């Protein structure tokens, strides 16, 4: 009824609260139907409908700026800012992004995908507004999960020392992807339960007297903010005024509170309590399952995913070796670690969304003789890069990195693409990098890492493993590739899961195919031998062309003055698109047809 008439936020600013509630229900139904078809972040979005409506009702986007942390909960924002009709294209090639994206709308003021950036970005905007004499409010919306990331604290620490017109909305649903963990999460629970509230309330008058502006504000807003200001909270101590907690699904309270908070022009935080999956029973009961759902057509076979094979290896290995510890930065389900967590709770460590800490923590454990395995997505390891160099590689510590979601990940798009790891890891001394071509090869690589002294990175893709059988005692030999097909004239050096494509092409052009296995150290002897016996070399990897595995071969050939033709296939130097994995392979020429094409040239 209302939804079809909304092209931008001004179209619903004159609705009554009752009408806004009806609109919220329309949006809820629309999102459920739409996400069921396209896939996407269902439960987080069902939890932010009322908040988003209230924000757009009270504030004037894009002058007032909304920075959505991670951006996965911004679907209502997309719907209300002229993108409703494109929601059917969500996460598909040439369609809407599943996160906020600047090129998509002027209302997406800051792009996202990775967690815990919103307060920094919103503070930057707020400080710029101040210098530019703009009165607009800069708003960060951050979940309790994202708040656990170190950057959030860095930003709060800075914000509290400024007089920026920054409003932080803490959307607390007690969940990260799985249950939120850590002392901060417990603290927020105590805040909500009123334990902190009751001890602090008595001090609040005294506090108000000390701060005349707040006092005026509190008077003006008597109805809605009475007793809501809690001196002594963590946030207050950091210099950020704290308000709440309030019901994140009550549009009337949200609007009144935001209207009042709009008048305060200093760093402030509003704590709202919401329910992930709100309004859809199955999602409320199992928010984890509905955090991100796939479109109906996406399950291609029943083989285990690479992540599950990794999880099985971790369990088997932990059974026989009590030094093994599994570390995850808030991704236990995605990394296939649920069984491990249940079987070995003492050796399962979820550090929350804290990749940097996860890496250095592993370093500390390794020093004391444990065998830490950091299970981390390629794209999120970027967060722990200095820690990787400074705390692990330079000290040559015995840590294994199981780098999941390497290569092109598909629907999550550019922010989640794991296409930089070979380049950013390869340049670091002391490390060994393996790109297994199948889950069985991954299992062997993990066995290798388990007995190897020094840091080992095993990078593997998102998706199913294509073979059923994977448990093996065997290992791989350091720096040795594997010739899987012998042909004439042309040789394809294949890295990681590009092997299938390489083999397919090789049948048609009678090429030799080498599963290189190691990106570092490279199998230099084999490269030399082959380069001297092939007319053309082709390398293929699902990593950026800049400085990747093909570059490593090139550097070696240069160093040895071996003159031969080498064509490197990989992801070009662009911001990648979102779409299905196979569409992206096609787009970037990681196909058997393209290998054949290149070989003809
Ligand atoms: C740096 C980084 N690590 C991990 C993730 C994966 N991730 C996406 S959403 C999410 C949970 C966020 O929880 P919260 O902020 O509370 O939002 P909610 O979904 O509960 O609304 C995680 C861990 C990420 N996007 N970025």
pLDDT tens track for 171-184: 999 999 999 999 99
Residue 53 counted as domain residue: yes
The residue nearest atom 25 of ligand 1, judged by CA position, is 114
**Domain containing residue 317: CATH number:** 3.40.50.970
Q: Which atom of ligand 1 is nearest to the CA of 334?
A: 6
Measured by CA distance, the residue closest to atom 17 of ligand 1 is 143
Structural domain of residue 211, as residue ranges? 3-285
Ligand 1 pocket test: pick from 48, 49, 351, 353 the residue with the most ligand atoms within 8 Å of its Cβ.
353
- The span from the CA of 462 to the CA of 444, in Å, is 18
Same domain, 417 and 343: yes
Q: Are residues 432 and 523 in the same domain?
A: no
Q: Phi first, then psi: what are they for 466, rounded to 5°?
A: 70, -10
Q: From the CB of 188, is ligand 1 less than 6 Å away?
A: no
CA distances from 53 to 59, 173, 427 (A): 10, 18, 48
Q: State if residue 169 touches ligand 1 by the CB under 6 angstroms criterion.
A: no
- In this prediction the pTM is 0.94
Query: Quick check: is 301 in a domain?
Result: no
Establish if 170 belongs to a structural domain. yes
* Distance between Cα 150 and ligand 1 center (Å): 13
Instruction: Give me the chain's average pLDDT, please.
Output: 93
* 455 and 529, same domain (yes or no): no
* 190 burial via Cβ count (<10 Å: 0-12, 13-18, 19+): exposed
Is 354 in a helix, a strand, or coil? Answer: coil
Give Rg (Cα) of the chain: 26
Torsions phi, psi of 157, nearest 5?
-55, -40
In a domain, 297, yes or no: no
Nearby residues of 202 by Cβ (< 8 Å), 6 or more positions away? none
Q: Which atom of ligand 1 is the closest one to the Cα of 72?
A: 9
Domain count, the chain: 3
- What pLDDT score was predicted for residue 204? 44
Beta partners for residue 293, in sequence order: 40
- 313 and 269 fall within a common domain: no
pLDDT band, very low/low/confident/very high, at 397 (cuts 50, 70, 90) = very high
Q: How far is the CA of 121 from the centre of ligand 1 (A)?
A: 17
Phi, psi of 582 (to 5 degrees): -70, -35
Residues identified as active-site: 276, 355, 383
DSSP string across 175-195: BSSSB--SHHHHHHHHHHHTH
User: Does the Cβ of 275 fall within 6 Å of ligand 1?
Assistant: no
85-139 residue pLDDT tens: 999 999 999 999 999 999 999 999 999 999 999 999 999 999 999 999 999 999 9
* 469 alpha carbon – ligand 1 mean position (Å): 33
Q: What is the CATH number of the domain that holds 491?
A: 3.40.50.920
User: Contact 490/511 with Cβ under 8 angstroms?
Assistant: yes
Substitution candidate for ligand 1 out of 50, 177, 182, 277 with most atoms within 8 A of CB: 177
In a shared domain, residues 50 and 143 = yes
Which tens digits make up the pLDDT trace of 247-279?
A: 999 999 999 999 999 999 999 999 999 999 999
Question: Rounded to an integer, what distance in angstroms lies between the CA atom of residue 79 and that of residue 161?
Answer: 36
Could you tell me how many helices (H) and strands (E) the chain has, helices first? 25, 17
Q: Does 459 contact ligand 1 (Cβ within 6 A)?
A: no
């Amino acid at each position: 009824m209302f939804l079809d008439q909304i092209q931008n936020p001004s179209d619903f600013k004159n609705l009554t609260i009752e009408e806004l509630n009806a609109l919220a229900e329309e949006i809820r139904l629309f999102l459920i139907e739409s996400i069921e078809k396209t896939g996407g972040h269902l439960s987080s979005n069902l939890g932010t409908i009322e908040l988003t409506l209230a924000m757009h009702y009270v504030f004037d986007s894009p002058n007032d700026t909304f920075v959505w942390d991670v951006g996965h909960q911004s679907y209502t924002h997309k719907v209300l800012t002229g993108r409703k009709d494109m929601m059917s294209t969500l996460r598909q090639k040439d369609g809407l992004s599943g996160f906020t994206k600047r090129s998509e709308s002027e209302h997406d003021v800051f792009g996202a995908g990775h967690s815990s950036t919103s307060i920094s970005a919103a503070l930057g905007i707020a400080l710029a507004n101040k210098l530019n004499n703009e009165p607009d409010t800069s708003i960060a919306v951050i979940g309790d999960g994202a708040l656990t990331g170190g950057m959030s604290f860095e930003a709060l620490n800075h914000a509290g020392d400024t007089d920026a017109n920054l409003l932080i909305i803490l959307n607390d649903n007690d969940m990260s992807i799985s249950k939120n963990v850590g002392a901060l999460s417990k603290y927020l629970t105590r805040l909500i339960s009123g334990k902190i509230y009751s001890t602090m309330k008595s001090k609040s008058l005294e506090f108000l007297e000390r701060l005349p502006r707040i006092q005026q504000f509190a008077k003006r807003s008597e109805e809605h903010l009475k007793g809501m200001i809690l001196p002594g909270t963590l946030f207050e101590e950091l210099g950020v005024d704290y308000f709440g907690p309030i019901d994140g699904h009550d549009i009337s309270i949200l609007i009144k509170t935001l209207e009042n908070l709009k008048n305060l022009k200093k760093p402030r935080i509003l704590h709202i309590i919401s329910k992930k999956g709100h309004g859809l029973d199955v999602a409320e009961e199992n928010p984890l399952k509905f955090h991100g759902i796939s479109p109906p057509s996406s399950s291609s076979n029943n083989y285990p995913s690479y992540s599950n094979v990794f999880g099985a290896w971790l369990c088997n290995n932990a059974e026989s070796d009590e030094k093994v510890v599994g570390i995850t930065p808030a991704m236990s389900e995605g990394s296939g670690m649920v069984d491990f967590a249940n079987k070995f709770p003492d050796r399962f460590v979820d550090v929350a969304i804290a990749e940097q800490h996860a890496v250095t923590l592993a370093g500390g454990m390794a020093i004391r003789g444990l065998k830490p395995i950091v299970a981390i997505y390629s794209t999120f390891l970027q967060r722990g890069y200095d820690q990787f160099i400074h705390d692990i590689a330079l000290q040559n510590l015995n840590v294994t990195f199981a780098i999941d979601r390497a290569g092109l990940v598909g629907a999550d798009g550019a922010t989640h693409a794991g296409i930089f790891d070979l380049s950013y890891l390869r340049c670091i001394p002391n490390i060994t990098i393996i790109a297994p071509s199948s889950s069985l090869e991954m299992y062997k690589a993990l066995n290798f890492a388990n007995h190897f002294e020094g840091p080992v990175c095993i990078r593997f893709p998102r998706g199913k493993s294509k073979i059923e059988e994977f448990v093996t005692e065997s290992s791989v030999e350091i720096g040795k590739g594997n010739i899987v097909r012998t042909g004439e004239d042309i040789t394809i050096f294949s890295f990681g899961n590009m092997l299938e494509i390489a083999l397919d092409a090789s049948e048609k052009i009678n090429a030799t195919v080498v599963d290189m296995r190691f990106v570092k150290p490279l199998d230099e002897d084999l490269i030399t031998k082959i380069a001297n016996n092939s007319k053309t070399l082709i390398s293929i990897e699902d990593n950026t062309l800049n400085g990747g595995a093909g570059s490593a071969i090139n550097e070696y050939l240069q160093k040895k003055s071996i003159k031969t033709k080498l064509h490197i296939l990989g992801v070009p130097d662009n911001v990648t698109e979102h779409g299905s994995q196979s569409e992206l392979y096609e787009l970037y020429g990681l196909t058997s047809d393209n290998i054949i094409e290149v070989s003809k040239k």
